[in-house]
Amino acid sequence: MQYDIATIVQGYAQGYFLMADECDRLNWYGSRARTFIPLDDRFRYPKSLGRVLNQERFSVAINQDFPAVVAGCANREVTWISPELEKIYWLLYQTGYAYSFETWQGDELAGGILGIVIGGAFIGESMFYRISDGSKVAMVKLVERLRQRKFVFFDAQMMNPHLERFGAYRVGDEEYQGLLQQALHRRCTLV
């Protein structure tokens, strides 16, 4: 199947995101309340994670093993990342829109975050870990990188208890659309 990358990017640029249903059919979804990971002083993490960060057990990389991060994000009992969506992520990666932000312990992939970058928006699609704290360290280091690179927001799409621990908060649709327009007029890069 052929995919029109411009159409896919346009969907994300309008505030939608792709998900597969239980039959692996892809659909566009939107939300009236999006979840943001704060890029300001509202971002927080547990003291125990601070100790892990101080130990410097993990190194960070971007796109060192993009396919492994996508596979790690899709590898769960119930997943919305279908084989078709994996192909779309690969095409978005090849065209400079999709990224994997990874943590490594030696030469072993510890965890990572899969996301789409459009202008100054980082749209987090999924995250996973293979080694305890791998994805949490990735989250902290990614927030640092997004701050340095002057991103407008980090959209995590849907709230969950794990994200709440980092200070995640909800944004209504009107505010989201305004921030999205700001982000689309900014040229930010992850690398």
**What is the pLDDT at residue 101?**
98
Q: What are phi and psi of 101, to 5 degrees?
A: -105, 115
8 A C-beta contact, residue 70 and residue 89: yes
Q: If the chain, 191 residues long, is cut into consecutive pieces of 10 residues, what is the mean pLDDT of each piece?
A: 85 94 90 94 94 95 98 91 95 97 98 98 97 97 98 94 94 95 96 91
Q: What are phi and psi of 37, to 5 degrees?
A: -90, 125
Q: Answer whether residue 11 is part of any domain.
A: yes
Q: Answer whether residue 161 is part of any domain.
A: yes
Range of the domain at 154: 5-184
**What is the pLDDT at residue 32?**
86
pLDDT tens per residue, range 110-132? 999 999 999 999 999 999 999 99
What CATH number is given to the structural domain containing 145? 3.40.630.70
**What is the pLDDT at residue 27?**
92
Picking from 111, 190, 112, 106, the residue whose alpha carbon sits closest to that of residue 154 is 190
Q: Answer whether residue 111 is part of any domain.
A: yes
Q: Whole-prediction pTM value? A: 0.95
Q: Answer whether residue 145 is part of any domain.
A: yes
Q: Answer whether residue 191 is part of any domain.
A: no
| Residue linked to tokens 């119930």 | 78
Q: Answer whether residue 87 is part of any domain.
A: yes
> How many whole angstroms separate alpha carbon 30 and alpha carbon 34?
9
Q: How many domains does the chain have?
A: 1
